[in-house]
Structure 1
Amino acid sequence: MSTVETVRFKLMPGTDTTDFETLDRRVEDDYMAKRPGFLSREVSRSDDGEYLVIVHWATPEDADATMEGFFSAAETQDFLAAVDKTTVASGRYARVTR
């Protein structure tokens, strides 16, 4: 059964949203999309500047393996520097099929 991960966060004060969204695309293209089991990723932003990232994985193990390396990967460092870590909230869900 596929796995859905969600992450909500705001940016560090002073971070330009256009610059961040370029960093976000790089993280997806250069890191996330190259990981085993990656299916898709979408990013949304609320009016108050909170981002919501939804990532679909083939299995929970694929999600775990990717996230284990996420915080130390060279491809993610600029992205992580722009995120206000005090605002991060995440969740994981098993996809419900009908």
Structure 2
Amino acid sequence: MNKLNIKDLEVKEQLGYKDIVVKLYNVPVKYRCNRNIFGENLQGEVVWQVADVNPNLDAPFTHIMPFDNEKIKAYNWLGAYYYINILDGKIILLPKQRLW
């Protein structure tokens, strides 16, 4: 797999919450990056980057959506979804998901 700088990629989706903007970056084919969701402050500085929940698999996140005032819902390539804390980027794993 090729290396990439996530900040060189296009922003696929973004969600704004008070002082944090959550950005999902589009990972091109032939690149591997499972940590493609960032939280940035209003000055554009990175506050957090999501953890790699599937380090042995190529499974970047493909969609984010609002959930409540504390977390977003994020889907990855494998069809699994996770809640991510808006302020610190911590992932809340959801039980009983079937990863194909």
TM-score (norm 2): 0.31
The structure with higher relative contact order (CA 8 Å, sep 6+) is 1
- Higher helix proportion (structure 1 or 2): 1
TM-score (norm 1): 0.32
